[in-house]
Amino acid sequence: MVGPFGLTHCPSEQEFVAALRNGIVLCKAINKIQPGVVPKVVANAPCDSQPSTAFQYFENIRNFLVAVQALKLPSFEASDLEKDNLDAGSVGKIVDCVNSLKSYQERKKCSGTYGPVKYMKSPLAPRSAIHVQSENVTLGSSTPQKCLDLTEIDAEGQSSQNVGPNMEDCAFAEAIGKLQRIILDCMISCKENLNQDVLKKDPVTLVGTILSNQLEKEQFKPLLQLISPEGAATKNEPNQHIECSNSQNENRLRLLEAQESELLELKTMFQEVKVDFRSLQTQFQDDITELGHNIQGISKAALGYNQAVKENRNLYNMLQEVRGNIRVFCRIRPLMNSKSISSIEHVGNDGSIMVCDPYKPQTTRKIFQFNQIFGPTTTQDEIYRETQSLIRSVMDGYNVCILAYGQTGSGKTHTMCGPSGGLSSNDLGINYMALNDLFTISTSREDVKYDIRVQMVEIYNEQVRDLLSEDTSSTKLDIRSSSNGLFNLPDAKMCPVQSPSDVMTLMLLGEKHRASGPTAMNNRSSRSHSILTVHVNGKDISGNVSCSCLHLVDLAGSERVDRSEATGDRLKEAQHINKSLSCLGDVITALAQKNSHIPYRNSKLTQLLQSSLGGNAKTLMLAHISPEGESYVETLSTLKFAQRASTVELGTAHANKESNDIRELKEQVETLKKALATKEFERSSLKLKENTVTSERTKQLPQRTPPRPRRLSLETTSSEKGSIPGKPPKSPVSAMTFNRDHGTARDKECRIDGFNRTKIHGSVIQ
């Protein structure tokens, strides 16, 4: 059907398969049977065109197999044609396919129909590839079983050619066919591997090498005889000389030239690909370098930005410290309900937070700015680390107050007492960590001796209760106003602590006594405000003393009673909680607006927090928010409250430290004050006596001239003695009033104030 393609009448299986390997013959054949079924056949390239690649040849096979399958003829795998897969099964399949194609063609010719196909079975018995190779060692020594009989197939083609091919022509044609196949095989394998070494060779040398390599193989010896009759004649049959005609030589030459030019083109192509590849590689490297530069620039900018943000925050904190503002941190609890949508839109690393009602997305977003924001993944340790410096300043004599504020269930107790609400020693909150830290500092400072004492109270339904007393029901405490105008709890139990374990025991006791109960918003809701106060008194080796206190306040959570579903006792508690928080809000607002009157007296909570909110303490508010969209209103209210608190200026905090000299002077002042008080007492009783005597005398002698009051003479004498020149003499009454006011004053400022005034009057005493 396709004319001769270089096979002998009885080719071996390898020869047969090799002739079909490029798929050209198969495609041509099937196109004859079914015209156009393989529209594009990649043929052997002419000398002047691009050489076909192994891949393109593979395309031929693939297209052929698709067409065969479409005709429902027995098929084979493309890999069956590969040299390494020449086992009997593969060859058998290929032969079966070709035979069935042939019978299909014959049937079509006879009947013109495409009836069911009966194809011929392969004449090959299944044998292993090793057998096949070993049996076909020499050309022409094949047996009928080992070789394919293509006589019938070739008959048609040969009939059109000259009849009676002589042995010589036949052998030569065979040799040419073999030569073609060898070169084709080599080319295919060269293209498959694209081995640079092969392609680098001079094409003529390359073809020469290929040929000599192949021809040296045992099976091609007869071919060698054909090509080089002299050599062969001397070796084997000296009398049999095969003459090659000029035209045949020319053919061979042309073939070699074609191969040569193909190889050259291949080489050029390879060089071009290499150049392209190199330029691509260079471009890629340039791109990578540029990308690296860009990334470096971006990371530098990011670093700079972070640095600037950090500096900004530090400056802001410093400014707040100088102004003595209440510092505000905000902590966001993790979402408890996975079905809820978060109302937190963004948390910036500069302490900003943006919130939005997720159920009303059209409402405007609100942005708040605090000293620090802690996201839902922040750990207790991280929170403590940020508050540590503040807490540590207690040891340097500063009063410190940390307030946990927020709606019910937002995590205040979690932060202050730990996840278990302080009932377990395994998970700890700021309270415990702070005290632990204070002990660490006290042991590390060997030159200072510290005395640490703890008080723990709660404000439940507007009553102050001692949490460290065994019987809490009977320990209602009264808030007393001290001489310095501040409120305190002199009757609250003050427990000295020596170690963290003492603290733990006290805290567990306190938390056990604290009022808590379940609500719809929190299973274990704190129903009271708890205040843990740590009093620290330090004395160093030179006698300098410091005294300070740390208030750790866990406020009860504000709640909407419709949401907390509080009734009965819970409702009463909620009302008290909300009222006292509202009083706290009023105080904060008044402080923020710098009003002259601050309504501390409106609730027990504000009374007790007066020194922290309006004194010289360092105060930190830890605002807690729940991220659930359902709590958006409460979240907004907490954030607004915290924002207002952050504007409250307390003034620069002072350390309550006294050097030894000051203390001695103060003691001196105290002694002088006492002496003065005694003198005043004596004077007033003397005056009283004198008055009594005078009035009695007046009664007895009404006509007599009234005597000169002795008091005046006394005062004049003393004034003359001790008064400062140019200053008017002081009235003894005013001096007495002063001493009564200041004699009992305990706070530092008043004592210093008292000391100054006593100095003025010191001369009077002297």
Instruction: Please report, in range form, the residues annotated as the binding site for ATP.
Output: 406-413
Least Å from the CB of residue 559 to ligand ATP: 7
Tokens of 43: 């043929």
Q: Is the Cβ of residue 20 or residue 467 nearer to ligand ATP in the bound state?
A: 467
Of residues 419 and 743, the one with the C-beta less far from ligand ATP:
419
Q: Which is nearer to ligand ATP, 625 or 676 (CB)?
A: 625
Rounded distance between C-alpha atoms, residue 552 and residue 557, angstroms: 15
Compute the least distance from the CB of residue 479 to ligand ATP, in Å: 23
What number of residues does the chain have?
766
3-state DSSP of 578-622? HHHHHHHHHHHHHHHCCCCCCCHHHCHHHHHCHHHHHCCCEEEEE
Where helices occur in 12-128 by DSSP H, the ranges are 13-20, 24-33, 54-70, 88-111
Question: What is the number of other CB atoms lying within 10 angstroms of the CB of residue 239?
Answer: 5
- The alpha carbon dihedral of 270, 276, 277, 279 has a sign of positive
Residue whose CB is less far from ligand ATP, 174 or 628: 628
Contact partners, residue 52, CB within 8 Å, separation at least 6: 42, 43, 44, 45
Cβ closest to ligand ATP, residue 327 vs residue 412: 412
CB of 654 to ligand ATP, least distance (A): 32
Residue closer to ligand ATP by CB (options 455, 526) is 526
Residue 227 vs 344, nearer CB to ligand ATP: 344
Smallest separation, CB 413 to ligand ATP (Å): 3
Q: Do 412 and 526 form a contact (C-beta atoms < 8 A)?
A: yes
Return the number of the residue (59 or 634) whose C-beta is nearest ligand ATP: 634
Q: Of 498, 503, 392, 387, which is closest to residue 450 (Cα–Cα)?
A: 498
Identity of the residue numbered 305: Y
**Of 520 and 547, which has the nearer Cβ to ligand ATP?**
520
User: Helix (H, G, I), strand (E, B), or coil: what is residue 224?
Assistant: helix
Say if CB 686 and CB 715 are below 8 A apart: no
**DSSP assignment, residue 489?**
-
Task: Tell me the residue type at 38.
Answer: V
d(C-alpha 210, C-alpha 236), whole Å? 24
3 state SS of 549: strand
Give me the least distance between CB of 411 and ligand ATP, in Å please: 3
Smallest gap from Cβ 624 to ligand ATP, in A, equals 6
The residue of the chain with the least Cβ separation from ligand ATP equals 557
**CA neighbours within 13 Å on the CB side: how many for 533?**
24
Q: Which residues bind ligand ATP (CB under 6 A)?
A: 333-334, 406, 408-414, 419, 522, 524-526, 556-557, 624
Planar angle of CA 763, 764, 766, nearest 5 degrees: 60
Q: Report how far apart, in Å, the C-alpha atoms of 32 and of each of 35, 45, 233, 318, 352 are.
A: 5, 21, 44, 94, 81
The nearest distance, CB 331 to ligand ATP, in angstroms, is 7
Query: Which tokens hold the place of 317?
Result: 């904190």
We find the least distance from the C-beta atom of residue 404 to ligand ATP, in angstroms, to be 7
Positive or negative, the Cα torsion across 108, 112, 117, 120?
negative
